[in-house]
């Protein structure tokens, strides 16, 4: 596959692009929870030249690197994040290949946007993704899914950038996909774009109708009126995490302004002025109660970044 990301070896320093790196930027506006402290350094490149310049700047510093997409599956500490936070939210290009029924999408584009674009073309395969709040990059890393389907079912390949500046194209067999997991979760690679195989030959009315039905189903069973990260915990093999939490009577339980949703027990909501610490403590409380009752350890699906108190 031809992609727009050449080797960093051809880099020419761009001082204007380096100026796009900012210090002490609050990360709360960039997460769906609307909580979190400051990034020591923050960059959100708009194009390959700016990304190259950011990596050149980063390579000359003794800094840690944290990757950020839409921030929809993320809990960032109130103390913020040291080092450079690099966001792909401005990488949004996409292209449909009518000859082979594939769509190639940049990492920062919301997966829901791709689902609707495919529906308008009558291409099937992404109807389930209409309620997924994150980006394409995050969906690939997490193997996002719904309605018994997931990213691994559709992915043809993914273009990644490693911390040493090398661009690679990987296939699903390289990614060790499992339930909401992949080898990309090691945090050593930045997803640049992904290509998905969809199915042609449907009417746009049929695909749009199915997509709309999936969206209505999610909205009827999940809360969308307050900030959240989506599902907080991975589902264990025995029962859904939401069912286990609901059986404990924890719907509506609060720590500060963080609350377990009355609508869906696997959602923790920011009901106004919640702190990241409130959400973190509520996650820990749920884990303790579930372990005490069923001897199960609920594993968070939400990625937790930064320093939190020792409970």
How confident is the model over 190-199, as pLDDT tens digits? Answer: 899 999 999 9
* In the predicted structure, residue 128 carries a pLDDT above the cut 60: yes
| In 164-296, alpha helices (H) | 204-221, 241-247, 276-294
How buried is 278 (Cβ within 10 angstroms: 0-12 exposed, 13-18 middle, 19+ buried)?
buried
pLDDT of residue 9: 33
Name the CA radius of gyration of the chain, rounded. 20
Asked if residues 230 and 133 have their Cβ atoms less than 8 Å apart, the reply is yes
Q: What is the mean pLDDT of residues 136-164?
A: 91
Q: What is the mean pLDDT of residues 304-308?
A: 95
The residue with greater pLDDT, 114 or 185, is: 114
Asked if residues 38 and 305 have their Cβ atoms less than 8 Å apart, the reply is no
Distance CA 90, CA 64 (A): 21
pLDDT of residue 12: 31
Sign of CA dihedral 195, 201, 203, 206: negative
Distance from the first to the final alpha carbon of the chain: 48
Q: What is the mean pLDDT of residues 48-72?
A: 87
Identify the CA nearest to 230 among candidates 88, 39, 81, 70.
70
Distance CA 298, CA 103 (A): 35
Distance CA 270, CA 228 (A): 6
Q: What is the mean pLDDT of residues 271-294?
A: 97
Q: What is the mean pLDDT of residues 61-85?
A: 92
* In the predicted structure, residue 8 carries a pLDDT above the cut 80: no
Phi-psi region of 225 (alpha: psi -120 to 50; beta: other; left: phi over 0): alpha
Q: Are strands 65-68 and 167-170 parallel, antiparallel or unpaired?
A: unpaired
All residues at 6 or more sequence positions from 288 whose CB lies less than 8 Å from its CB, including other chains: none
Q: What percentage of the chain's residues is helix, strand, coil (to nearest 5)? A: 30, 25, 45
Q: Specify whether 301 is catalytic.
A: yes
Least confident segment among 45-49, 104-108, 218-222: 218-222
pLDDT of residue 162: 81
Q: What is the mean pLDDT of residues 210-230?
A: 89
pLDDT of residue 311: 61
Sign of CA dihedral 143, 107, 63, 61: positive
The CA angle 42-43-46, to the nearest 5 degrees, is 160
pLDDT of residue 10: 35
Q: What is the mean pLDDT of residues 122-147?
A: 92
pLDDT of residue 69: 84
* In the predicted structure, residue 2 carries a pLDDT above the cut 80: no
Catalytic annotation, pick one of 89, 231, 261, 277: 231
Residue found under tokens 């992904």: 194
Band (pLDDT 50/70/90 cuts) for residue 4 is very low
pLDDT of residue 255: 98
Asked if residues 25 and 39 have their Cβ atoms less than 8 Å apart, the reply is yes
Catalytic annotation, pick one of 32, 109, 124, 180: 180
Distance CA 108, CA 121 (A): 21
Q: Which two tokens stand for residue 224?
A: 């969308």
Go through the domains of the chain in sequence order and give each one's CATH number: 8-87 (3.30.43.10), 94-220 (3.30.465.10), 223-303 (3.90.78.10)
Q: Which two tokens stand for residue 146?
A: 């719904």
* In the predicted structure, residue 68 carries a pLDDT above the cut 90: no
The CA angle 294-276-30, to the nearest 5 degrees, is 120
Q: CA 176 from chain center: how many Å?
A: 18
Collapsed DSSP state (helix, strand, coil) of residue 113: helix
Query: Which pTM was predicted?
Result: 0.84
Band (pLDDT 50/70/90 cuts) for residue 11 is very low
* In the predicted structure, residue 82 carries a pLDDT above the cut 70: yes
pLDDT of residue 114: 97
pLDDT of residue 13: 38
Least confident segment among 9-18, 153-162, 213-222: 9-18
Band (pLDDT 50/70/90 cuts) for residue 99 is very high
């Amino acid at each position: 596959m031809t992609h727009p990301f050449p080797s960093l070896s051809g880099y020419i320093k761009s001082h204007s692009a380096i100026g796009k790196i900012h210090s002490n930027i609050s990360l709360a506006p960039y997460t769906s929870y609307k909580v979190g402290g400051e990034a020591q350094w923050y960059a959100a490149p708009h194009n390959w030249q700016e990304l190259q310049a950011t990596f050149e700047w980063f390579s000359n510093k003794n800094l840690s690197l944290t990757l950020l997409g839409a921030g929809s599956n993320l809990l960032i500490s109130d103390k913020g994040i040291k080092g450079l936070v690099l966001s792909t939210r401005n990488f949004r290009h996409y292209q449909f290949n009518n000859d082979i029924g594939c769509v190639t999408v940049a990492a920062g584009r919301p997966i829901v946007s791709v689902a609707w674009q495919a529906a308008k073309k009558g291409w099937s395969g992404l109807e389930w993704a209409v309620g997924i709040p994150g980006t394409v990059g995050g969906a690939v890393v997490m193997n996002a899914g719904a309605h018994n389907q997931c990213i691994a079912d559709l992915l043809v390949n993914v273009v990644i950038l490693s911390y040493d500046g090398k661009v690679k194209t990987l296939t699903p067999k390289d990614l060790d996909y499992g339930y909401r997991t992949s080898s990309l979760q090691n945090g050593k690679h930045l997803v640049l774009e992904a290509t998905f195989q969809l199915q042609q030959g449907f009417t746009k009315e049929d695909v749009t109708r199915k997509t709309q039905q999936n969206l209505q189903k999610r909205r009827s069973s999940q809360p969308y009126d307050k900030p959240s990260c989506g599902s907080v915990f991975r589902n264990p093999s025995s029962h859904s995490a939401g069912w286990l939490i609901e059986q404990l009577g924890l719907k509506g339980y609060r720590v500060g302004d963080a609350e377990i949703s009355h609508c869906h027990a696997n959602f923790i909501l920011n009901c106004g002025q919640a702190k990241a610490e409130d959400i973190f403590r509520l996650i820990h409380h749920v884990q303790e109660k579930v372990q005490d009752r069923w001897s199960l350890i609920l594993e968070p699906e939400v990625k937790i970044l930064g320093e939190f108190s020792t409970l």
